[in-house]
Each structure stands twice: as structure tokens, then as C-alpha cells.
Structure 1
Amino acid sequence: MLQLVRILLTHGRRLAETAADQAHNPQFATIAAVFGTYNLAFIVLRVQRGILRAIALERYLLARAGRGRDITIVPPRNRTPATPPATPQPARIPTPTYGRFLDPSHPANFHIPTLQELEAQIRRRPIGRTIADICTDLAVIPGFCTAQFWSGLFDTLQFYGGSLTAMYESRGHREQTFRRERDKRPETWHCNWQDLRPATIRHLLGHLIGETPPALVLATPPP
């Protein structure tokens, strides 16, 4: 699991470093679509939060390993159907609520917890939920990953309390948001935002998630 988290962390850091350079590339639409916006500042905020989550989880896993403690597998929950009451109950009239709904995906309502807050959150809930949150923040989708990495991620979420359903719901919501934004930006209509060919993803991200990242080429200093 530690290796999986480190792969996600490497991906997040590379994405944070290269997003600004790729923003003017027509193929950047593929990245924008999975984040739900062309707003580069908001994309970077999401990535930064995903990086922080991954750092916090890495520290937590290392601490547990240092104490010789394994991560507990979370058994699937079996929902028992509710037993209907013996006699009909009067219908409850819902209490009206007031106030404006705050969409957490809107930039104005975005929040980045501190590293300490994230570490406290990790300690009190299943590991899989944090991994799902990291993937959501970093907009990890199957098309960005090698088949082997996605399979391992799928198993990790399944066995450690994560939810693929929540990830797919978030992706669907972002796609709808992206479509609405794109409709107002005719200069982007020629961009194919559904291009998930491996060659396109490697061009945008440098590599598929799960592949070995290309080595950084350091310039040789003059003698």
C-alpha cells in the first residue's frame, strides 16, 4: 500500500509542476475535463490538497510499519432490510431549512486542511477512504493509469473501506460542470477533451500512473 501511495504522490507532484506549462496545449482539455474546469488555479489547489493527503497518509503508514502494525482489512457491510412497522405511522412533515447551499467543488468554498488535520482524519477512518480522496483530488481515472496500477488501486479501495462509487459520482459531477463551462468558451470547442489514448496521456503527464516516471535530465555544469 505504501508503494501505491508513493506512486500517487509522485503523480501529484509532477502534475503540480507541469500543469501551468500544459495549460496552453489544446490537449489540456483532457486534464481540464477530469477536474471539471479550465481554471488552472483551482486545478492546482486540488492537486496541492491531494499531495498533502498523500504525504499525511505516507507518514501514517510509515509510523504504523515502525510499530509493526498492519492495516486492517475492512469487511464489506451487509445492509439488513428495515422491518416495516406493524401499524402505519403518520407522515412526517419535513422541517424547512434555510440558508444557501455551499457547493464544496466551487473555488470560493474550497478548503485545504493542514497536514495535522489530515493526519487526525486518517487515524479515525478507513485507509481506503483517504486513498479515494487522494484520487479524487488528483483526478485519477482508469484512462490515466496502467491496467496493473488501476487493478491494484481497485483492490485497495475494495478491501480497505474506499468507495469507487463516490469517485465515479464525483467524476460525473465534474464532467457536467466542465460541459457547462465549455459551452461558454467557444475557443475551446475544437479541443477533444475525451482523448484518453495512452500517447496523449503520456504527452500531458509524462507517463501513465503506474509507469516509471522519466528521469529528470540535469544539465551538466560547465567546467
Structure 2
Amino acid sequence: MMSLLPNDELDPWALPAVPLTSWQQLPVAAGMTFVIRKQAMLHIGIARNLRNQWVDHPLRDAFNSLPLDTQIHFLERSDRSLQALLQMASGWIDAYRPQFNAVKLTIEAASSLKALESIQNELQELEARPYLLDCYVQRTAAGGTAAGKGRDPGRYACLRSRHQTFVNGKKSQYIPLYAIAKYEEQCERGRQIKRLRKSRDNVRNRLEQARRTLDRTGIQLLL
């Protein structure tokens, strides 16, 4: 059969296969399985250990009712993480819409994992540079202590924190005017990091909720 090739130009029908009733012959390796009967793609699964997954497969009862000529085609990809395998599997699931897969949820989970990777990369880049969380620069000239110490109040501004405390035990510290740009950049970087951390946590929560359902459809995620 000529099938769509959404991933890696591989044809699931051309992969090695074992009868559905001989799942014990599946390899002890990470990868994907394709439950196929003739021209029908019935299910696509991913697991860190293909054989072990079938010891107590969540869809065992449903598969037991399938005709005896149903086969399990398999693809070993021990070089890939489960997240990478999900990206591959989601393309086939989108193309074939298998009967026993949670199609929409699987595609959404793959998209969320891709977004999470992008967020984490951006966070890593931002967090590698100096940043200040929950801080802002007050550009008005410093007075009070700064002036009292003989400083020119027109040469200082104030760096303030909404939550954290500076080394001096206060929520503010004086900064020279020439350093305003540097501190404002660090404050802005802190705001970006805070937004990204919130987005990361939201995506992780969605994936955790999806994981519980996907586990029941033979799609393993390692979060």
C-alpha cells in the first residue's frame, strides 16, 4: 500500500511486523507501534519499552476483539526521547486519524511540547544574563540619605523592589544616573523571565493533564 509519509519518509506498512497475538516478539526498545489491519491504521503508540508496554497495554481488551490478521508494525528509535517520538507520531496520527487514538489531544500535546521547548530555550538564554525580578527604576533624583551624605541628589536615581530585599536590608537602593540604562535592561529582562516562567508552568500543567489521558491510549510521555 502507498501511504502518506508525514514523518522521516517512512511507510508504516513497510516496517517490521508481528501478529497482534505475538506481541511478546516486540523489541525491548523505545519506539513506536502501529496496529494495522490490511489498509486500516487502527492505533499508533509510543513507549520507552515497546514489549513491556504490551504486557499490560491499556487498550488490551479493545485489541483482543480485533481480527486475527491484525498486525503490530514497529519502529525502534532508541536514539529519540519520548518527546521527539511524540512529534513523529503526531504527524502520522494527524494523517491517519486512528480509531483507538485520542487524535486531537495527541496533536495538541505535540504542539505543547514544541512550545515548551521554545520557552525553555528562551528562558535559558535570558537567565544566563543579569536580571532583576520584580524591580523597577525610579528616575526621579535621589534625596534623603543620598543628599544627607553629601551626594549631589541630581546624580542619583533609585532602584526599587516590590518583593525582594537588597543587600542593605531595604527595598530600594541608589544608583548613579549613568547606570540607569543597565538596570532598566535588567528589570525588563526580569519581567520577560517572569512571563516566560508563567507560560512554562501553564504549558507543563496542560501536558500533565494530557499525559494521564494519553497513557490510557498507549502514548507515553515523560515529563
Which TM-score band (shorter chain)?
under 0.3
Larger Rg: 2
Normalised TM-score (structure 2): 0.27
Higher strand share: 2
Greater RCO (CA < 8 Å, at least 6 residues apart): 1
Higher helix share: 1
Normalised TM-score (structure 1): 0.27
